[in-house]
Each structure stands twice: as structure tokens, then as C-alpha cells.
């Protein structure tokens, strides 16, 4: 039973990458988060065995799903069962919370069947409206011993401080493990700082400690949300695009006329990855895995440039074929610049009026449907769902 349920869990949903405190680039982080002591888990609304269910699935230390599932008998909107997933923390320490168990949500990956971050991660500002909509539509009820709450967040960009705002510090009902910094408009690793008395600690006083970085920390370009016109003849045959590499591995951007960013290319297998590496990157191991055992040159250690493995950052013309399941283009081969005239115009690829097409695009973007607006986050948005000790 449990195995069958877990097998249906979307593979792209994973807790965000976290790292220890570093000083470089702190100015790119705008949000502070109070991370609790608790088990990493996710809240999942789905349809299982002919009924709508809500459950909490725990992760192990390797961030792999465990078969430890908690089913919650609570009321919720039926649309949630179309697919709603939030990651967070399960607080169930009996010495601290007694018989109560609290799920503290810190991120969202699906809402009512709309996906956020498949196949590539999305920055926080692209998901914030869905996150707030979830709590606005969530009925205020509890399923003893379980209850659902939002994690405490605040804006640190104006003060450039990590300290928790005084108006929140007395109302946080859980023990804080980390003060976490998050970037709202780029894909950067979350940065943890051990929570102590941090009233006078500024970001520019943090220690220079840099650990392993995620490949997503280098992906800084935000993709536009196009409503694909899949009825267009262009999707039924190979097509020519300008292809430009990103610093992150296996990430390439496609451009249409007039040099408009269209979407990320799909790299479905190792063969395609090796072909793209040979065109855009300088990776000795790409041709022979035996070279991994060879010692690195001094130049590799001296050159700390982020793009040192790129041959070129200029867009090249490539023939691509469309994958209907993933709705992405797969690069096939390089072509001569004489084929530039065959690059399609962006208006031939997407709906120019940006209106959703229910017939040809059922999985349209949530933010398009709900008129997403860029805005700064304010913690009082969650005032009715914020976790309080007196609950």
C-alpha cells in the first residue's frame, strides 16, 4: 500500500539545497527564515484508492522519501487533491510539544495540479503567490494531534540584518535551529547560520566559510512563462534555434527571433549531454572517464572563474526536435549559420495574447492563471496561520 503511494510521488519534488554560512554574495539574499528543530518532510494532498487524502511523508538524512507516512483526517478544498505538495518540518518532540504534532511549511512545489520547478527549479518570487494562496484557502482546523502552519519569514533586504524582528520573536512557538537566508529572484543555495543571540549580527560580519555548492547556484537566468501554441506546425517537425549555455551543467537556453529567450533545452540522456559538453564546454572527462583519476593542473586551482569550463557563451545555431511529453526541445546537432533564416519567430511558437489554451495546454502556469504580481514578502500575510505557542 505504502509503496504504491510513494511510487506516484513526483520525482522533481526535493528539499532545496542548503549550505553553511558564507560571506560572498550575501547582498543577493532578501528573506530571513526561522528554521525549527524537526524532521524534514512534505505535506501531500492527492487522490489515492478512490478518495482524496492528505498525508505527511518523512525524508531521511539523504533527503530520500521514507515509508513513514502520517495520514491526516482533515477538511480541505477538493482542488488540493489534484496535486498539492509543500515541503517543511514535522515537529513531534513530546518533551517540547506534548502530544501535539505540527507541520511547518517552508516551500511549495505543487498547488491544485500546477507544478513549480519541473524540470528546473523556480526562484521564490515565482512561487510566493501560490504559497500565500494555499494558506488563504486552507481551512482553519486541526486534526489532533496534527496542525498545519507557515514558517516564519521576514524581509532582511532593508536592514541587512539577520536578527528576527521584535514583533515576531515573542510569537514563534518552536525552537529555532537556524536563521536561514534565501534569495527571492535567483536560484541560490539557502544559507544557514546557527541561531544564537543574533540581535547585533549583520550580514557583513558573517564568517568566510564556503562548502560544496550546488550546480543550481550558478543558474541565474529567470525563464519567461510562455503559453505554448502546440497546435502550430512548428512543433511537428525539427526546428532551428539559437542555443546558449548556462554555467550550470546541462542547462542550455533556446532563443527564437528576434533573439527572445524562449525556454530551456531538454537534455534527456547521457549521449545528448556529452554532445552538448563537446560543443560548449571544456571537460576532459567528457571523452574518457579515465581522465578523472589524473591529477588536476595548477591552472584549475588558480582559475576560480565561474565560467572557466565554458568554451563559448555565444549562442550557436542547432537543430532541435520537440518532446511532447516534457514540452521541451531536444538539441540534435549543430548547423551552419546559413540556416539562421529558418529560426522561427517567437509569435509562431506561443500565444501572442498570453491567454491559456485549455485544449492544447492543460498544465498551464499557475501564476499566469492567477495574475501573479511581483511584490515583496511581508510576514503579516500569514497572521492567521502563523505558528503560535498557545495553540
Q: What is the pLDDT of residue 119?
A: 76
Q: What is the pLDDT of residue 196?
A: 64
- pLDDT digit of tens for each residue in the chain (391 aa)? 678 899 899 988 988 877 766 554 567 888 999 999 999 999 999 999 889 999 999 998 888 888 889 999 999 999 999 999 999 999 998 888 888 899 999 999 999 999 998 878 889 999 999 999 999 999 876 677 899 999 999 888 554 566 788 888 878 889 999 889 999 988 888 888 887 644 444 444 443 333 333 443 444 556 677 888 899 999 999 999 999 998 877 889 999 998 889 999 999 998 999 999 899 888 766 665 454 445 455 555 455 456 667 877 789 999 999 999 889 999 999 999 999 999 999 989 998 654 433 333 444 555 555 543 444 444 444 444 444 444 4
d(CA 146, CA 103): 7
d(CA 103, CA 106): 10
CATH value of 2-218+374-382 in 1.20.950, 3.90.660, 3.30.470, 1.10.15:
3.30.470
- Give ∠ CA 228-229-230 in degrees, rounded to 5: 95
Q: What is the pLDDT of residue 167?
A: 82
Phi, psi at 69, each rounded to 5° = -115, 130
Question: E strands, 131-246, where?
Answer: 146-150, 153-155, 176-182, 190-194, 239-245
Range 351-367 burial, b when 16+ CB lie within 10 A, else e? beeeeeeeeebeebbbb
Q: What is the pLDDT of residue 21?
A: 61
d(CA 235, CA 233): 5
Q: CA nearest 315: which of 236, 254, 249?
A: 254
Regarding pTM above 0.75, the answer is: no
Domain ranges of the chain: 2-218+374-382, 233-294+305-364
Question: E strands, the chain, where?
Answer: 18-20, 31-36, 39-48, 51-59, 65-71, 84-91, 101-111, 114-115, 146-150, 153-155, 176-182, 190-194, 239-245, 252-256, 260-264, 316-323, 328-334
Phi, psi at 268, each rounded to 5° = -85, -20
Q: What is the pLDDT of residue 144?
A: 77
Residue 1 and residue 8 in contact, taking contact as beta carbons nearer than 8 Å: no
- Which triple of cell numbers denotes residue 114? 500546477
Amino acid at each position: 500500500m505504502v509503496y504504491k503511494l510513494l511510487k506516484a510521488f513526483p520525482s522533481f519534488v526535493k528539499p532545496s539545497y542548503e549550505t553553511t554560512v558564507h560571506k560572498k554574495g550575501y547582498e543577493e539574499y532578501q528573506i530571513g527564515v526561522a528554521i525549527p528543530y524537526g524532521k524534514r518532510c512534505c505535506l501531500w494532498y492527492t487522490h489515492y484508492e478512490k478518495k482524496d487524502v492528505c498525508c505527511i511523508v518523512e525524508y531521511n538524512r539523504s533527503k530520500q522519501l521514507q515509508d513513514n507516512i502520517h495520514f491526516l483526517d482533515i477538511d480541505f478544498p477538493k482542488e488540493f487533491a489534484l496535486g498539492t505538495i509543500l515541503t517543511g518540518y514535522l515537529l513531534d518532540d513530546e518533551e517540547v510539544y506534548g502530544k501535539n504534532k505540527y507541520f511547518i511549511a517552508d516551500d511549495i512545489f505543487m498547488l491544485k495540479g500546477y507544478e513549480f520547478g519541473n524540470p528546473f527549479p523556480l526562484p521564490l518570487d515565482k512561487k510566493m503567490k501560490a504559497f500565500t494562496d494555499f494558506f488563504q484557502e486552507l481551512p482553519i482546523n486541526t486534526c489532533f494531534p496534527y496542525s498545519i502552519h507557515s514558517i516564519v519569514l521576514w524581509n532582511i533586504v532593508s536592514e541587512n540584518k539577520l536578527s528576527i524582528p521584535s514583533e515576531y520573536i515573542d510569537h514563534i512557538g518552536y525552537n529555532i535551529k537556524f536563521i536561514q537566508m534565501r534569495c527571492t529572484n535567483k536560484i541560490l543555495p539557502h544559507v544557514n547560520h546557527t541561531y544564537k543571540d543574533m540581535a547585533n549580527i549583520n550580514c557583513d560580519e558573517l564568517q568566510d566559510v564556503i562548502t560544496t555548492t550546488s550546480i543550481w547556484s550558478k543558474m541565474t537566468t529567470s525563464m519567461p512563462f510562455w503559453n505554448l501554441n502546440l497546435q502550430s506546425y512548428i512543433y511537428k517537425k525539427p526546428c532551428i534555434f539559437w542555443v546558449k549555455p548556462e554555467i550550470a551543467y546541462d542547462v542550455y537556453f533556446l532563443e527564437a527571433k528576434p533573439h527572445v529567450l524562449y525556454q530551456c533545452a531538454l537534455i534527456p540522456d547521457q549521449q545528448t549531454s556529452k554532445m552538448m559538453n563537446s560543443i560548449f564546454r571544456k571537460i576532459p572527462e567528457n571523452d574518457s572517464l579515465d581522465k578523472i583519476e589524473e591529477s588536476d593542473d595548477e591552472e584549475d586551482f588558480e582559475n576560480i572563474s565561474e565560467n572557466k569550463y565554458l568554451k563559448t557563451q555565444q549562442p550557436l545555431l542547432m537543430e532541435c526536435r520537440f518532446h511532447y511529453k516534457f514540452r521541451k526541445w531536444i538539441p540534435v546537432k549543430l548547423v551552419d549559420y546559413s540556416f539562421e533564416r529558418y529560426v522561427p519567430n517567437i509569435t509562431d511558437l506561443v500565444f501572442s495574447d498570453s491567454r491559456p489554451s485549455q485544449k492544447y495546454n492543460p498544465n498551464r502556469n499557475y501564476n499566469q492563471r492567477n495574475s501573479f504580481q511581483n511584490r515583496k514578502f511581508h510576514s503579516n500575510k500569514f497572521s492567521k496561520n502563523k505558528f503560535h505557542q498557545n495553540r
